Amino acid sequence: MTFATRRVLLGSLAAMPLLARSAPAQSPAGWPDRPIRLVIPFGAGTTTDALGRILASALAKAAGQPVVVENRVGAGGNVGAQAVAQARGDGYTLLLGTNGTHGINASLFADPGFDAVKDFTPIAPFVTTPSVLGIPASLKVASVAELVALAKARPLSFASAGNGTTGHLSQALLNLRAGLETQHVPYRNAGQAITDLLAGRVDAMFYHPLGLKPHLDAGTLKALAVTSARRVAILPDAPTMQEAGVQDFVVEGRWSLYGPAGMPADIVARLNQATNALLADPPSLANLRAQGVEPVGGSPNQLAVMTREEIAKWRPVITAANIKPD
């Protein structure tokens, strides 16, 4: 057993006493004795869908039952999240939540249809990815500082994959931190946004590394910075936004495993252990990193804290920028 695996197992076991106090329900006899449903709140072919299918495979192996992926799309992930919030907390319905469903949407929507804290059982943090601040190669800017200076000299436009996405919120946070007024240009999908970025019809875009990497490698786009707290292996030469001079700037897409409120503690512990074991398995980890993400892992209690912090982080940014859903 590796040190990482021992640490994961100890973290899971340490969480169990508190979970037992907060979730007094008992496991259904013989759980699981039928397929488990994993709700993906975004469509097939998305990053969330790809990650969900990797996680579903690992959970099925650990549980000894099929884990069926169900894509429930709509309202920025709210439709799928609400379906899980309304399900029985018996361990047969799970959600691959994001920092949108369990952070941003609490402030973006007047009523997302659920309470991201009260209506769910946190099970395990899963993976995370930063965004990259990309610009067309034709834009004669070599750093974030130069981009900020340009934005103060003339109007600057930022593309995004839609209102309230992490790309949009990264732009809003840059405006807030650097005292800028840049133009937001939302698109219905990231592909069209990248096409216009390559053509120079928009000046910049925050988007996840995997989507921009082919164009960065081809030299048609330039990476000015990444939005994570540390540099990322996929783009080692790109500084963080904080290294580039924009303080208090960390934005990361996050995926985590949740269930309905009131799940039995022993089921939560088994699912948590299976998720962390996936993240400690070298071939599985390589598969995840091929999707452009990095492991997080940890206890249910750590996920509960992350969820509350994510909600608190984005509320002032959304309010200050007056961001509304599409």
Q: What share of the chain is helix, strand, coil (3-state, %, to 5)?
A: 45, 20, 35
Asked if residue 304 has pLDDT above 80, the reply is: yes
Residue 210 pLDDT grade (very low, low, confident, very high; cuts 50, 70, 90) = confident
**Averaged pLDDT, 37-50:** 91
pLDDT at 26: 54
pLDDT at 161: 87
The number of CA neighbours under 13 Å toward the Cβ of 242 is: 10
| 132-226 shares the fold of 3-129+252-321 | yes
**Averaged pLDDT, 283-292:** 87
The beta-strand segments (E) located in the chain are 36-40, 67-71, 93-98, 120-130, 132-136, 157-160, 183-186, 204-207, 221-226, 252-260, 294-295
Residue 3 pLDDT grade (very low, low, confident, very high; cuts 50, 70, 90) = very low
10 Å CB burial of residue 117 (0-12, 13-18, 19+) is: middle
pLDDT at 9: 38
pTM comes to: 0.83
Say how far apart CA 252 and CA 295 lie, in whole Å.
12
Tens digit of each residue's pLDDT (9 = 90 or more) over 156-203: 999 998 888 899 999 999 999 999 999 999 998 888 999 999 999 999
Tens digit of each residue's pLDDT (9 = 90 or more) over 110-169: 999 999 999 999 999 999 999 999 999 999 999 999 999 999 999 999 999 888 889 999
Q: Are 303 and 125 in contact (CB under 8 A)?
A: yes
Architecture in CATH for domain 3-129+252-321: 3-Layer(aba) Sandwich (3.40)
pLDDT at 27: 58
**CATH number of this structure's domain 132-226:** 3.40.190.10
Say how far apart CA 80 and CA 101 lie, in whole Å.
9
Say how far apart CA 91 and CA 40 lie, in whole Å.
16
Say how far apart CA 40 and CA 257 lie, in whole Å.
10
**81 φ/ψ angles, rounded to the nearest 5 degrees:** -65, -40
Q: In which residue are the tokens 């009523």 written?
A: 111
pLDDT at 28: 63
Asked if residue 17 has pLDDT above 80, the reply is: no
Asked if residue 10 has pLDDT above 50, the reply is: no
Asked if residue 260 has pLDDT above 50, the reply is: yes
Say how far apart CA 213 and CA 295 lie, in whole Å.
19
**Averaged pLDDT, 271-281:** 97
In a 3-state reduction of DSSP, which class is residue 112? coil
Q: Which of 195-199, 204-208, 263-267, 289-293 has the lowest mean pLDDT?
A: 289-293
Q: Which residues contact 206 (CB under 8 A, 6 or more apart)?
A: 131, 132, 133, 134, 158, 160, 166, 167, 170, 171, 227, 251
**How do the domains of the chain map onto residue ranges?**
3-129+252-321, 132-226
Residue 291 pLDDT grade (very low, low, confident, very high; cuts 50, 70, 90) = confident
Say how far apart CA 263 and CA 104 lie, in whole Å.
24
Q: Which of 41-45, 76-80, 178-182, 309-313 has the lowest mean pLDDT?
A: 41-45
Say how far apart CA 194 and CA 204 lie, in whole Å.
9
Q: Which residues contact 190 (CB under 8 A, 6 or more apart)?
A: 161, 167, 207, 211
Q: 10 vs 5, 284, 298, 299, CA distance in Å?
A: 9, 21, 10, 9
Residue 47 pLDDT grade (very low, low, confident, very high; cuts 50, 70, 90) = confident
**Averaged pLDDT, 228-235:** 89
